[in-house]
């Protein structure tokens, strides 16, 4: 009998040479379209965080917007989007960061998080960690009580976990 992790890994489609030659893209849309896999994944995430006092789930645009609200609902927590510049309507703060091919920025509403919040930042993939590190820096500026970070899957060979502060718990459900 397959483990839950094996079932989820099996459901992920590999797309060779996307978005550029030499990259093996892990397409998780196939995991999301399978009701059983979606239930397994949301259950695994809930079990991991149900006793951590999470008050806010912060999802990173755009794939963090899929499992983030599902988990927020299960944990009875709020959901906060982190978006690219110009997408949020109220007052925001911004964090810019370097990527392999340039710079990018992310924003959050200034009133999204307070000092009593225990925050779980969520995204689909941990590769080099640049986007999530910028999101962590952004959330830290709002002074939450504690920050945790979660990914659906991690590409272990890229050592993305190493860029995060040691006091931030970084976990992935699946590892490749």
- Go through 28-51 and write b for each residue having 16 or more CB atoms within 10 A of its CB, e for each that does not: beebbebeebbebbeebbeeebee
Catalytic residue selected from 63, 141, 146, 169: 63
32: left (phi over 0), alpha (psi -120 to 50) or beta: alpha
Query: What does the block give as tokens for 49?
Result: 């965080």
Please confirm, yes or no, whether 100 is among the known catalytic residues. yes
Catalytic residue selected from 91, 100, 115, 162: 100
Please confirm, yes or no, whether 162 is among the known catalytic residues. no
Active-site annotation, residues: 63, 100
């Amino acid at each position: 009998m397959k483990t839950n992790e094996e079932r989820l890994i099996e459901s992920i489609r590999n797309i060779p040479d996307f978005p550029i030659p030499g990259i093996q893209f892990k397409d998780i849309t196939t995991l999301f379209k399978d009701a059983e896999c979606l239930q397994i994944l949301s259950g695994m995430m809930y079990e991991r965080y149900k006793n951590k006092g999470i008050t806010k789930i912060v999802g990173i645009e755009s794939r963090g917007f899929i499992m983030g609200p599902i988990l927020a609902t299960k944990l009875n927590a709020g959901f906060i989007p982190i978006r690219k510049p110009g997408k949020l309507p109220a007052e925001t703060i911004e964090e810019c960061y370097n990527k392999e091919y340039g710079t990018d920025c992310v924003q959050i509403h200034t009133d999204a998080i307070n000092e009593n919040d225990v925050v779980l930042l969520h995204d689909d993939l941990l590769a080099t960690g640049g986007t999530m590190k910028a999101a962590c820096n952004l959330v830290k500026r709002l002074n939450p009580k504690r920050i945790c970070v979660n990914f659906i899957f991690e590409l272990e060979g890229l050592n993305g976990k190493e860029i995060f502060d040691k006091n931030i718990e970084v976990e992935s459900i699946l590892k490749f």
